[in-house]
A and B are shown apart, each in its own frame.
Chain A
Amino acid sequence: MRIGAMIKRIMLELSRDKRTLGLLFIAPLFILTLMYFLFQSNTTQQATLAVRGVDSTLVQAIDNKHIQIRKVTDTTVSARRLIRQHDYAGVLTQSGSKLTLTLQNSDQTQSALIKQSLQAAQIQLKMKAAGTTIKTQAAALQKLARALAAATRRVPTASAAPAGSHTAAYSLTTHYLYGSGDATFFQTLLPIMIGFVVFFFVFLISGIALLRERTTGTLNRLLATPVRRGEIIAGYLCGYGLLALVQTILVVLFTLYVFNIQILGNLALVLLINILLAIIALTLGLLISTFTSSEFQMVQFIPIVVIPQIFFSGLIPVNQMAGWLQAIAHVMPLYYGADAMSAVIEKGAAFSAIAGDVGILLLFFAVFLGLNLLAMRRYRQV
């Protein structure tokens, strides 16, 4: 009953604080929309690549809609000079079988485009070469199969499919396991952002709410009633958990219907992960607010507690980080949250696949909750 009253009170207070409500529900959508347009435009990017003495097959293979090829014949100027003069993103020079790529590298995305395209081209050529060998091998195999079939004619086998049907020409078509060919960086970003947005806002708002209770004296007044410390925290958990749920549903609906992005996994799992992140953010926010004495001090914790979590949430692939950085990543709740969220949204992971992440998130929650109950002792010993 007390927890119910706490929840009702939190809801009433919020419903009368239109700005905070706006912050909770409109700001995430605003941020996501902004990111959508920012990272969507990445796909139309082009890089100019100058080629000098490069085999035409390779040039053809490199050529795609992101690369503009410029043929250069003058062999006297240095690649660096060419780039400076013409503002090429890169120069590819071939002498014999040796390829030299010089990149301007003032815009890393362009450099990445060129490197990717070159790599893709080389793979494509290798595949083609492999294709031809396979073709000849296949012909030999077919002959062998025919001879074998003749030898075992009297044995009826169900699997006697005509082996000849596999000799079609090899051509490369790319299939994307997750997403599509025109998947953007935004799609990678989205699951991370869904988790982050909830984490950030719940952390800030719940932390400041408890802080205000302390500075206005209502927390002390509350502790002068027979309420249990656990009931206060439970009230906060349920109240803000509910808010996080609404916020997540809003963000997910927005993702589905405005961005038109598919969520491959179960929506319930998305909600579960976000609720977990929300209650972790909440307990962390409450915990930190007990060590601050003003809203201003609370805000000072954002660069320490919240911002670093973004870096380790998968925006930068964690498994490519230095060892000690990876260790840091593993103490960040958002790392596990974003990992699970990406798995569900992009790969359609089932619960069993994210159970490990969920378990660790629960552990974070349990630890923060315990610390909160201890911290509350500062205000009332029983």
Chain B
Amino acid sequence: MDNTIQVSDLTQGYGRTTVLRDINLTLTPGTILALIGPSGAGKTTLVATIMGMLKPRQGTVTVLNTAVPNRPLLARIGYMAQTDALYDSLTGAENLQFFGTMQGLRRAAMPERIKYAAGVVNLQPDLKKPVQDYSGGMKRRLSLAIALLADPAVLILDEPTVGIDPELRQQIWHELHALAASGKTILLTTHVMEDAEQADTIMMIRNGEAIAQGTPAQLTAQYHVATVEAAFLQAGRDQDAHRRND
């Protein structure tokens, strides 16, 4: 089967600085990948490159067998940015409607999709409120609902679970697993190890390099530790040791 996301030998940066080096990544339909790594490691940069917001400096990125950047391709990717980009004076429903139209959702399908997306994040009762009256978590949820709106084949979520309570997090993960089961591909970044453990594969990025990649079970086995968190810390120490030896 074709890979949904294929990143080969990617080097990426801003201006003169290089942020990512030699990143390789393959995602097949129906899988969930969690990107973890310290703050400033380059997770958002990788996500932005896969979205086509940044042109790969070296290497190639293809999504759904199309090389990025590609504008029409964006219609098939549901994106949730790390910072909530919402129109504050509009209500939740109006934000959903607007971004739905921009994403290319047909008007006829709109009410039903809005109902579904708002339902996943428990936001139906607040849809009529202007976003400026939302709490931080509510804004995150609305951003996630926008990503889910157009029933995209690929979901790219940059820290989707920040500010979301445990009960709702469970509900969201339930939905993400259901989506994956129906053949969608999901890539998300997170700092929360519980979230990472829910994913099929985990990729650790540190100092712009992919230092470890595999299923949660593989990672804990590889580093002879009990938890993903411990594996992550161990991988980081190994990278530092390796660098000192260079």
Closest chain B CB from A283 CB (angstroms): 21
Does B101 lie within 8 Å of A217, measured CB to CB? no
CA distance A379 to B97 in the complex (A): 23
A224 interface residue, CB < 8 Å from B?
yes
With known contacts A225-B103, A226-B72, A380-B52, A13–B85 Cβ distance under 8 A: no
B232 interface residue, CB < 8 Å from A?
no
Closest chain B CB from A35 CB (angstroms): 33
Does A222 lie within 8 Å of B102, measured CB to CB? yes
Closest chain A CB from B242 CB (angstroms): 35
With known contacts A216-B85, A217-B83, A382-B69, A224–B74 Cβ distance under 8 A: yes
Partner among A12, A223, A228, A382 whose Cβ is within 8 Å of the Cβ of B90: A12
A120 interface residue, CB < 8 Å from B?
no
B86 interface residue, CB < 8 Å from A?
yes
Count chain A residues whose beta carbon lies closer than 8 angstroms to a beta carbon of B.
27
CA distance A180 to B155 in the complex (A): 70
CA distance A1 to B75 in the complex (A): 15
A2 interface residue, CB < 8 Å from B?
yes
CA distance A353 to B97 in the complex (A): 46
Partner among A12, A13, A218, A382 whose Cβ is within 8 Å of the Cβ of B52: A382
B187 interface residue, CB < 8 Å from A?
no
CA distance A221 to B98 in the complex (A): 12
Does A218 lie within 8 Å of B87, measured CB to CB? yes
Most chain B CB within 10 A, of A1, A219, A223, A224, is at: A224
| Interface bin, chain B | 20 to 34
With known contacts A5-B101, A382-B70, A13–B87 Cβ distance under 8 A: yes
A70 interface residue, CB < 8 Å from B?
no
Closest chain A CB from B244 CB (angstroms): 38
B55 interface residue, CB < 8 Å from A?
yes
Does B75 lie within 8 Å of A381, measured CB to CB? no
Please, what's the 1-or-0 string for A6-29, where 1 marks a CB less than 8 Å from any CB in chain B?
Answer: 001100110011000000000000
Closest chain B CB from A13 CB (angstroms): 5
A326 interface residue, CB < 8 Å from B?
no
Q: Return chain B residues, CB-CB under 8 Å to A220.
A: 53, 81, 85
CA distance A303 to B130 in the complex (A): 36
Most chain A CB within 10 A, of B84, B101, B107, is at: B101
CA distance A220 to B74 in the complex (A): 13
Does A225 lie within 8 Å of B69, measured CB to CB? no
Within 8 A of A (CB), among B183-214: none
Does B53 lie within 8 Å of A224, measured CB to CB? yes
A227 interface residue, CB < 8 Å from B?
yes
Within 8 A of B (CB), among A354-382: 379-382
Q: Return chain A residues, CB-CB under 8 Å to B87.
A: 9, 13, 218
B51 interface residue, CB < 8 Å from A?
yes
Does A217 lie within 8 Å of B81, measured CB to CB? yes
Please, what's the 1-or-0 string for B80-121, where 1 marks a CB less than 8 Å from any CB in chain A?
Answer: 010111111110001001110111100100000000000000
Within 8 A of B (CB), among A119-169: none
CA distance A112 to B222 in the complex (A): 94
Q: Return chain A residues, CB-CB under 8 Å to B69.
A: 380-382
Q: Return chain A residues, CB-CB under 8 Å to B81.
A: 217, 220-221, 224
Most chain A CB within 10 A, of B90, B101, B102, B107, is at: B102
With known contacts A9-B98, A382-B69, A226–B85 Cβ distance under 8 A: no
Q: Return chain A residues, CB-CB under 8 Å to B70.
A: 382
B243 interface residue, CB < 8 Å from A?
no
Does A223 lie within 8 Å of B89, measured CB to CB? no
Q: Return chain B residues, CB-CB under 8 Å to A9.
A: 87, 90, 94, 98
CA distance A9 to B99 in the complex (A): 10
Q: Return chain A residues, CB-CB under 8 Å to B53.
A: 220, 223-224, 379-380
| Chain A minimum-CB-distance residue to B146 | A221
Does A226 lie within 8 Å of B74, measured CB to CB? yes
CA distance A223 to B90 in the complex (A): 19
CA distance A175 to B234 in the complex (A): 96
- 29 interchain pairs, CB-CB under 8 A: A1-B107, A2-B101, A5-B101, A12-B89, A13-B89, A13-B90, A16-B90, A216-B86, A217-B83, A217-B84, A218-B85, A219-B85, A220-B53, A220-B81, A222-B85, A222-B102, A223-B53, A224-B74, A224-B77, A225-B102, A226-B71, A226-B73, A226-B74, A226-B102, A226-B103, A226-B104, A380-B52, A381-B52, A382-B52
Excluding A12-B94, A225-B74, 16 further A-B contacts by CB distance (< 8 Å) are A5-B97, A5-B101, A9-B87, A13-B87, A16-B89, A216-B88, A217-B81, A220-B81, A224-B81, A225-B75, A225-B103, A226-B73, A226-B74, A226-B75, A382-B70, A382-B71
B residues with CB within 8 A of A: 51-53, 55, 69-75, 77, 79, 81, 83-90, 94, 97-99, 101-104, 107, 130
Which 5 residue pairs of A and B lie closest in terms of their CB atoms, listed nearest first? Answer: A221-B85, A217-B85, A5-B101, A225-B102, A226-B75
